[in-house]
Each structure stands twice: as structure tokens, then as C-alpha cells.
Structure 1
Amino acid sequence: MSSAPEAPATATVRIGDSEIGPGEPVYVIGEIGINHNGDVDIARRLINIAADAGCQAVKFQKRTPEICVPLDQQGKIRQTPWGEMTYLEYKHRVEFGADEYGQIAKYAADRGIDWFASPWDVPSVEFLERFDVVTHKVASASITDRELLRALAATGKPIILSTGMSTLEEIDEAVEILGTDGLVILHATSTYPLPAEEANLRTITTLQERYGVPVGYSGHERGLQISLAAVTMGAVMVERHITLDRTMWGSDHAASLEPTGLEHLVRDIRIIEQALGDGEKRVFPGEVEPRARLRRVTP
């Protein structure tokens, strides 16, 4: 598909109890992903960190390993904290099932925070629907998986579409399948960790103008500056990986935020929201006295 779809006027999208879009509070997602390392207690601690920092949601990843792990990779040996095992065995070791997600759903509800996941295959969509998640997230790696996109569209749930390592034509086709009603698009670059020169934050504006849906940012950088800059560029949703400790074993920990970093991210996003204002130039109350005292008017 080479031509852009006709962009409708941007509307808000409701996820749980939150409205996502221009003029609404930035929806901050702490992505737990697989940083729980297959341990429900670590997942609970990460939910606590996100809730305490003021995030509105946490996100996990859900896979059916036999579908998602290529056949030529399944038997490869991997060294893990639990000993030597095949890559398929390792993926099963860090995958939560119904019992674990039942505990997660209850704990997130108790903490007053949304939870959902990126399903990487159709059975995982069906699995997550059993928990009536508030939304589904399309991982950047899945944007060309048409079967998965059709299954997600059929749920009728709001969809968050991440766009790392994608062309505009690939995004166009995904949007055509998903539709724009209830869609939030996230600008992302799938480099871990993300160097500043690959962030390309002006793409946020490109996506807003092309699709007319709320646009956010999914970041994989170290530090906070790029995510905060994304908010000033109009990102209405920010997603960052979170961890107990960046030195923990696993592929995503190094590009994740530790608890203090997440607290600072949410704090600074809320300050930026206030600072952006409405764009109307006027004299503010704090300027009245200095204006009377300092302003000279000459003919």
C-alpha cells in the first residue's frame, strides 16, 4: 500500500477508566514484559513499583512458545540462571500460565492499576480474552502478522500498535486491518538500548497527521530525556520497560528503568503537562506585580 489513508480528526480512546488523547493526562505504562523472569513475586513487586510511581498500567508479554520460537531455534542450548536448557524449555520457564495471570489480575486490581499484554500469537489473544483485559498491545515484531491483527481486531477491544522497525507502508496495512476506531499508535525504534540519533521523535507528528489517532511513544533508551521530549512533541502515551535492577539476568533489563527512574519519569511528565499550557498568550497572575513595577511605556 503506497498511499496514506485519509486521516480522520483525532479522537480520544478509552482504556479502562482513562481517556487517551490530546488534552488528557499522558497514559504511562510500565512494561514488565518478561522482566519478571518467570517469578510471580517479582511481577507483584514490579506492579507495586508502577502503581507507586503513578503509572496507569503495566504490560506483560504472552506467547505460545511452540508457535513463536522458530523450529531451528527450539533445540539450541542456552545457559540460564536455572541451568542449561534448550531455548524452547527456557521460553516455557519464563512464560506465565492461567494460574499466574489470575494472581496478576487480582493483584493489579487491588493496586488500582490496569494490566494487559502483547500477545504474540492467536492462541495468546484467546488466552488474554479470558481475563477480559482492558486493551491489547501489538508488539513491533508483530505488525506484519496479519492473522494476529485480524484476531485482535475481532476482540473489539482498544488496540495499541507499536511501530518499531516498520515502514509507513507496513503501518498502513496494519491500520487497514485494525481500523482507526479505538486505535492508539506508538512511535518506537526497536534498538536496545536506543541511541539518541535513532529516536527520530518528529515521527510522532508524522503519525499524528497520517492516521488521525492518538499517538504515543514506546522507549528503549537509557535515561529519561528522550521520553520526556516525546511528551513535549505531543505523545499522549508513554511506555517504558521497568525492572527491579538493570543488572538482573535477561535481555530487557539493561534498557529498563529502575524504581527511582520510573518515579522521576512520571513526576516529570506531570510537570511537563502543566508547563505546556494551552498556547494562548496572556499575562499570568504572577506577572501582574512585576508588570506594574517594571514595564515602561514610551511614546
Structure 2
Amino acid sequence: MSNINLPFLQTINVGHCKIGDGHPVFLIAEAGVAHFGNPEKADRLVDLAAEAGADAFKTQAFITDDLISKRSGDWYERMRPKEVDLPFFLRMKKRCEDQGLIFLCTAHDESALRWADELEVPAYKIGSGERGNWPFLSATAKRGKPIILSTGMYSKDDVEQAISILSESGCCELALLHCVTAYPVPYAEANLGAMAELKHLFRGPVGYSDHTQGEHVSLAAVALGAKVIEKHITLDFDVPNAQDWKVSLGSGNFPDFVKRVREVEAALGTGSLDIQDCERPSQFWALKSLVATRFLAAGAVIDAAMLTAKRPGDGLPPSELPRIIGRKLAREIEEDMPIRVEDLEA
């Protein structure tokens, strides 16, 4: 089964950014809950994303009692202190807007989804944990805004079902992010090739939500054509009872990461087989010309033994040799000097 013919747009609009072929990689700085409920940390995370040049800052919203059953024990206790209220998010959003950042927020439950409405996010980010929660996907799609969907823990059938449900519920602007839900993801299980499979299933933008350590897997995803990159950021490392920091970048390396993403996407170029402007000067010293192997007198009939190919490329190229064998020289040629068209009799 393929959903390639479902009416999704190939380019979607999120805030002031277009996402799709022919547009820059949409780079999301995923802060998650790295603010730990502290407004000052939240400010610093926004500033880190803005100063590095990310396109969007993303956080996560949830009501612990609505998200996690108390029977989960430790998990419930770990998440409760990271829960913040709507004014906290409104404050973050304003700081983002003041610095030209798009503000995004993953809603992890129905209550938080209503907060996202109040925050007037330009797109809804749906996390991998909503696999199988098709009513939630449908409710999000019916809000009529673009959706960015992470596909961690999804099988091919799950992806196809999610795409169909989103389409049936009115979504026409969708980006799919390949994701592997582990912290950290072993490099051998990052499975970046799955992005190609997503492209076969779906005509809209495909990207990568990165849970590996370091930068290089995200950069490889860009080289493979990812149109969205989501990378975690943090201010704190070695945090007990937390996991996002294990796959996060901080103030010491996130700015360089953003720079490298832009360099890699620039390096992809147009894909056309053309001589690049930067290499035109190299044609003189790197290419070869036909030169005389010995002194050649005027009137000599050229044979192959009289010529060889040497740098620089300021004369006839070696490819012209078959055309000039048997021609007469109009003037003498010194040994090691190039032969040119005007050196030949008409």
C-alpha cells in the first residue's frame, strides 16, 4: 500500500519558513523539558537556539496526571517536577518571537493540546509516543494547521495508517520525521535509510529527529535529503533521572552544529554536472596540453610520437590528437612547447 497519492502538499509552511525541496533545512532546537521548570533556564535555552541560528525552538507540554498513570511509579515522579503552566509557555513564546524564532510545542495529552491552541503555534508537533493513538492524531489534524510527526517505534504499517488518518481528518500539510526512540540511539541502529522509505510512502517533506550522540548522524541525514532536522539542546549534562541530555548539544557545540548543517546543505548544490566557478582557474594548471616531444621543423607531418600530454592546459587538449595526426606544421615548435591551431597549415 502507498499513500503517495494522498493530497498532501510537497511544500508546507510553518511560520515564516517553507519546508520542502528547494528550501533550506528547517532546523528545530528541541529543548524538551531541559528548563526543569526554571524560567531563567528557559530564557537561556531560547537564547541558545536564537544565537545559534535555529529556525524554531521547541518545548514540550503535558499535565502529568493526564499523561502518566500513577502506577508507573518512578516515571511519574520524574516527570512531575518538569510540568509547567500555560503562563510559563507564553513567556517562552514571547522570548522566541522577540528574537525571530518560531515557537513550537509538542502536546503530550489532550489538555496540553488545548494549551497549544491558546499558544497559537503555527504547526503542531506530534511525538512518537502517540503511535496508535489515532484519536489524538485525528483531533490534531482537525485543527487545520501543519503537522510535523515523529515516527519513532513505528512500523511501515503504522506510518501508512497514521498518514491515512491525518489525511482523512483534513491534514494536507504534513512533514514526517524518521526517528528512533532510544537515549542514546546506537549508531548502527539510527537507520537513516528509512527516510528513503518514508519518501516512497509519502509525497511531503521528510526529515530526521535525532537521538544519537554528537552531530554527525544529523549531518548525514541532511546529506541524504532531510528537509527537517530536530536536535535536542540543553544547559545541563549528567543529570540524574533524566535522559534527553544524553543526546543533546549545548552552548559549546550547538552553534557549530547549526553552521555545519548549513554548510552540508550548501555542499549538496544543484546536482547538475557543470564546471563550478571555483574550479575554473584550476583548468590552467591541472589540465594537460599536447606538447612537442622534440624539436619539430616547419613542414613536418605530425605523427603520434612527436607529441605528448603535459601540464599546463594552455594548448590543444590531448583529445585533439587524432584530428591533427597527418597535418603539416606551419612553423617550427620547440621541444616541450604546446601546439596550437595556428601552428598547423590550413
State the shift of 1:233 in Å: 0.3
Equivalent residues in 2 for 1:276-295 (5 A)? 276-295=268-287
> Alignment partner of 2:258: what SS?
helix
Q: Is the 8 A contact 2:9 2:174 kept in 1?
A: no
Matched, 1:253 2:241: no
Do the aligned partners of 1:7 and 1:209 also contact (CA within 8 Å) in 2?
no
Residue number in structure 2 paired with 1:84:
none
Matches within 5 A, 1:202-221: 202-221=193-212
Instruction: Find out whether 1:152 has 2:150 as its counterpart.
Output: no
Residue matched to 2:329: none
Contact 2:62-2:83 within 8 A present in 1 as well:
yes
Separation in 1, partners of 2:67, 2:9: 34
- Distance in 1 (alpha carbons) for counterparts of 2:265 and 2:78: 42
| 2:102 maps to 1:114 | yes
The one of the two structures with greater contact order (alpha-carbon pairs below 8 A, sep at least 6) is 1
Counterpart CA distance in 1 for 2:33 and 2:248 is: 11
The Cα of 1:63 is off from its aligned counterpart by 1.3
Note the 1:175-254 alignment, pairs <5 A. 175-179=163-167, 181-249=172-240, 250-254=242-246
- Letter of the aligned partner of 1:187 in structure 2? H
Alignment partner, residue 81 of structure 1? none
Query: What is the aligned partner in structure 1 of residue 57 from structure 2?
Result: 58
Displacement over 6 Å in runs of 4+: none
Unpaired runs of 5+ residues, structure 2, are 289-316, 322-346
CA distance in 1 between counterparts of 2:213 and 2:249 reads 8
Matched, 1:5 2:9: no
Q: Secondary structure at the match of 1:267?
A: helix
- The structural deviation recorded for 1:251 is 2.4
1:283 counterpart SS class: coil
TM-score (norm: length of structure 2): 0.79
Gaps of 5+ in 1: 79-86
> Is 1:100 matched up with 2:91?
no
Amino acid in structure 2 at the alignment position of 1:256: S
The Cα shift of 1:91 comes to 3.1
2:122 paired residue number: 134
RMSD: 1.6
Offset at 1:7? Answer: 4.0
Q: With the length of structure 1 as denominator, give the TM-score of the two structures.
A: 0.91
Deviation at 1:89, TM superposition (A): 5.7
Post-superposition offset of 1:53: 0.5
Instruction: Evaluate the alpha carbon distance shift between residue 190 and residue 108 of structure 1 in structure 2; reply closer, same or farther with a 3 A threshold.
Output: same
User: Separation in 2 of the partners of 1:90 and 1:272?
Assistant: 38
Letter matched to residue 136 of structure 2: L
- Output the CA distance in 2 between the equivalents of 1:90 and 1:246: 16
Q: Quote the residue 2:334 is aligned against.
A: none
SS of alignment partner, residue 49 of structure 1: helix
Larger radius of gyration: 2
User: For residue 162 of structure 1, what is the aligned residue in structure 2?
Assistant: 150
Name the CA distance, whole Å, in 1 between partners of 2:79 and 2:185: 25
**Aligned-partner Cα distance in 2 for 1:142–1:214:** 20
Query: In 1, are the aligned partners of 2:236 and 2:245 still within 8 Å (CA)?
Result: yes
CA contact (8 A) 1:125 1:151 kept: no
- Cα shift readout 1:209-267 (whole Å, capped 9, x = no counterpart): 21111001000111111000000000011001110132234221122111222112110
Measure how far apart 1:48 and its partner are: 0.4
When structure 1 is superposed on structure 2, of 114-123 and 6-15 the one drifting more is: 6-15
Question: What's the CA shift for 1:39?
Answer: 1.1
- State the alpha-carbon separation in 1 of the partners of residues 76 and 217 from structure 2: 35
CA distances 1:182-220 after superposition (whole Å, capped 9, x unpaired): 100000111110111001111111111211110010001
Q: How many residues align?
A: 286
What secondary structure does 1:118 align onto?
strand
8 Å contact 1:223–1:261 — kept in the other structure? no
Report the secondary structure of 2:114's partner residue. Answer: helix
For residue 150 of structure 1, report the CA deviation from its aligned partner. 1.2
Partner residue, 1:171: 159
Secondary structure, aligned partner of 2:207? strand
Matches of 2:144 and 2:111 in 1, distance apart? 16
Q: Partners in 2 of 1:233 and 1:170 — Cα distance?
A: 23
Tell me how far apart the structure 2 counterparts of residues 193 and 89 of structure 1 sit (CA, whole Å). Answer: 22
Indicate the larger mover: 121-130 or 229-238: 121-130
